[in-house]
DNA sequence: TTAAAAAAAGATATTTGTGTCCTTTTTTGC
DNA sequence: GCAAAAAAGGACACAAATATCTTTTTTTAA
């Protein structure tokens, strides 16, 4: 469905929105640990997301790091996909035709268009903050289980 | 959503089911032309689909080519994805966590699971023949518009 | 039985995605 | 100012996906 790049972009952004703020910026080390992703690769992805402060804001130097502004928190999840150039997932033909259209539909179009519509809705109508809120309801995760957990 | 490999696999299989039969097998040249795909690469993909006659049947030599048995026509579209090892699209976590589960859900899980369910339905409940039937209703396409069409 | 046709198989090339590492720039606090 | 911290940027490495080309095997029909 999505590339590793997009997956890390989504997880990293959620993590930063979740744990960071302008007063408490997060470093790449912590972010990569928090979402189980390769550190340097994630750094590269965050560069894409910080271009023009589109989604993520960053400050260099001591006490620097990444955070999300209130404006950014209101952005749709789609904004993250756009930053990594993968928003086309919500417009493409499932069979890979150059165009997905009603006037020149593929044999799966009728079925797939409903799914695509919901995908579109999900990415366009859900804000980053909504995902944070969802997470904060408890028992949600953005990392992988690592090692063995001690029984309580 | 899907790789080029999967897209070509789907289009090629539909094309063969559509235009071919045991009496009229199709050559790779025609297939690639019919679905707008690179010939040699498509040949490789058809090799995956013909392993053990899983989805596509083939015969070498003069008058040889590709076709679908009646059994194969009844297979779900998912069988094509399985042949190219891409059926995981209907089970994976949208944020790329190792497991998608109710017990360890990501913040998009609640929304995405409905979409995933429909994707699963589409690929599992739709047979190859159903796509052929859909196509045969008319005004469906499996190739790209090429060149300029003369006005009528 | 041989030549031709066609897919299968193998080898290789190219591009893209994923990932790491090193250097540079910016920022801060002393 | 200076040293340290942190992101930004650049260069490189490796793997996977995409694509092409050549050789081999199978099959048919003349
Ligand atoms: S044309 Fe294929 S999904 Fe719309
Ligand atoms: S856990 Fe992420 S989609 Fe189910």
The predicted-structure confidence for A139-150, as pLDDT tens digits, reads as follows 999 999 764 444
Distance to chain A for B22, nearest Cα, Å: 23
Distance from CA of B82 to the nearest CA of A (A): 15
Could you identify the residue written with the tokens 């009229």?
B24
Ligand closest to B134 (CA) is: 1
DSSP class of residue B104 equals S
pLDDT tens digits for range A73-88:
999 999 999 999 999 9
Least confident among A11-15, A117-121, A147-151, B138-142: A147-151
Which ligand is closest in space to the CA of residue B115?
A: 2
Whether A105 contacts B133, CB under 8 Å: no
Delineate the domains of chain B, giving CATH numbers in brackets.
Answer: 4-85+127-137 (1.10.10.10)
Strand partners, A57: A67
pTM equals: 0.93
Tell me which residues have their CB below 7 A from strand D: A 25-29, 40, 43-44, 46-47, 50, 58-66; B 3-5, 8, 37-41, 43-44, 59-64
Please tell me the predicted confidence (pLDDT) of residue B138: 87
Is A106 near ligand 1, meaning CB less than 6 Å away? yes
Q: List, in order, residues 6 or more apart from B93 with CB less than 8 Å away.
A: B99, B100, B106, B109
Per-residue tens of pLDDT for chain B, all 152 residues: 999 999 999 999 999 999 999 999 999 999 999 999 999 999 999 999 999 778 999 999 999 999 999 999 999 999 999 999 999 999 999 999 999 999 999 999 999 999 999 999 999 999 999 999 999 998 999 999 764 444 43
Q: What is the largest CA-CA distance in chain B?
A: 60
Residue among B93, B138, B121, B84 at smallest CA distance from A96: B84
């Amino acid at each position: 469905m999505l590339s590793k790049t997009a997956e890390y972009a989504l997880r990293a952004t959620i993590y930063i929105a979740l744990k960071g703020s302008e007063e408490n910026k997060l470093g790449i080390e912590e972010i990569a640990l928090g979402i189980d992703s390769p550190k340097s690769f994630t750094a590269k992805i965050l560069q894409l997301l910080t271009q023009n402060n589109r989604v993520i804001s960053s400050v260099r130097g001591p006490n620097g790091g990444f955070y999300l502004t209130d404006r950014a928190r209101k952005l749709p999840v789609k904004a993250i996909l756009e930053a990594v150039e993968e928003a086309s997932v919500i417009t493409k033909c499932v069979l890979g035709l150059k165009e997905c259209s009603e006037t020149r539909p593929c044999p799966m179009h009728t079925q797939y268009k409903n799914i695509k519509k919901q995908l579109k809705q999900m990415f366009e109508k859900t804000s980053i903050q909504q995902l944070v809120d969802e997470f904060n309801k408890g028992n949600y995760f953005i990392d992988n289980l690592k090692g063995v957990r001690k029984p309580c």
